[in-house]
């Protein structure tokens, strides 16, 4: 995902700041990416483990989960060095709620490029928001990384 913010800016900064996804503090919680597994058995393997995501979709899901648990380091590590921002600020007022993967092209262990179209649902200080993106992924030094966005699907 890019740094593009979904929805509008909040009208009132006084609204309570939501906590990160429960998986941020409990690895046994359901994985934020929506696959039927615990965070520990799903995206945490890529966030914390030595093995990279095997497909572009797995990387995209793990990056969504990284937004949900606010793992800034993983987001930067899986961003292509040519497009990676110098720094990444995660809005503490945004809580990521649900991910829908709409379509994919390429991106398998046998490809070097792939795209994933998705819809990510969030709340921004209580207001519902949605981010749609058609993301492009490439292999960099053997591992899938996020390159850029092609635009809304
Ligand atoms: Zn996951």
CA distance 125 to 102: 26
Domain residue limits at 46: 23-149
CA geometry: angle 81, 100, 43, nearest 5 deg: 55
Per-residue model confidence as pLDDT tens digits over 102-150 = 999 999 999 999 999 999 999 998 899 999 999 999 999 999 999 999 9
The residue-averaged pLDDT of 58-69 equals 98
Q: What's the 99 CA to ligand 1 centre distance in angstroms?
A: 10
Residue 61 domain-assigned? yes
pLDDT band at 28 (very low <50, low <70, confident <90, very high): very high
Q: Please indicate, yes or no, if residue 45 is contained in any of the structural domains.
A: yes
- What's 143's domain CATH number? 3.10.450.50
Assigned domain for 13 exists: no
Q: Which pLDDT band, with edges at 50, 70 and 90, does 17 fall under?
A: low
Q: How is residue 69 written in tokens?
A: 């648990």
Tell me how far the alpha carbon of residue 11 lies from the centroid of ligand 1, in angstroms: 32
Residue 60 lies in a domain: yes
Closest alpha carbon to 80 in 111, 56, 46, 98: 56
Q: Tell whether 12 is covered by a domain.
A: no
* pLDDT at residue 50, as a whole number: 79
* CA of residue 86 to ligand 1 center, whole Å: 26
The number of folded domains in the chain is: 1
Please report whether residue 11 resides in a domain.
Answer: no
């Amino acid at each position: 995902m890019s740094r593009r913010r979904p929805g509008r800016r909040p009208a009132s900064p006084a609204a309570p700041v939501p906590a990160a996804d429960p998986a941020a503090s409990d690895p046994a919680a359901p994985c934020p990416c929506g696959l039927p597994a615990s965070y520990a058995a799903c995206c945490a393997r890529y966030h914390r483990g030595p093995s990279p995501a095997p497909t572009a979709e797995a990387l995209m899901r793990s990056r969504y989960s990284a937004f949900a648990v606010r793992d800034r380091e993983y987001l930067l590590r899986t961003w292509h060095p040519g497009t990676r921002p110098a720094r990444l600020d995660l809005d503490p007022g945004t809580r990521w709620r649900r991910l829908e993967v709409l379509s994919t092209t390429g991106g398998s262990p046998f490809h070097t490029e792939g795209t994933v179209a998705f819809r990510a649902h969030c709340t921004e200080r209580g207001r519902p928001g949605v981010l749609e993106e058609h993301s492009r992924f490439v292999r960099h030094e053997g591992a899938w990384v996020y390159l850029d966005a092609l635009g809304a699907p």
